[in-house]
Amino acid sequence: MLYGLPTSYSEAHALTYGTVQDLEQVQQQFPPSAHLCDDYGDRLAAAACTLCTYITHPQSTRHIPLGETYRNFNTSTKRKRVLNCARIVTIADNVKQHAYTHPVL
């Protein structure tokens, strides 16, 4: 993302885990129009797993130093991800290739 790949992110904040657990401090870091998701605590815990990458690769800290905000992303929402979609298969999806593909003997 830091190298110009399209992303839906508009900014990234380098904060400590302790800072982001305090909702008042988090809301001060973001614009007033931003809102936190309903399952913020769960998502925060999941994101903490990626901290191992950040800690084991100290060179990562030179991209976004602690306490800084990065806003120069190539923001694009053309390719959208669909979360929690359900695949529903119908009879209409069953397309026969040829009359002789599935003969009944």
Residue 5: predicted pLDDT: 84
Residue 61 to residue 68: CA distance in whole angstroms: 10
Task: Considering only residues 93 and 12, tell me which one the structure prediction assigns the higher pLDDT.
Answer: 12
Residue 11: predicted pLDDT: 84
Task: List all residues 6 or more positions away from 43 whose beta carbon is below 8 Å from its beta carbon.
Answer: 37
- Is pLDDT above 70 for 101? no
Residue 15 to residue 60: CA distance in whole angstroms: 13
Task: List all residues 6 or more positions away from 60 whose beta carbon is below 8 Å from its beta carbon.
Answer: 53, 54
- Is pLDDT above 80 for 21? yes
- Is pLDDT above 70 for 20? yes
Report if pTM > 0.75.
no
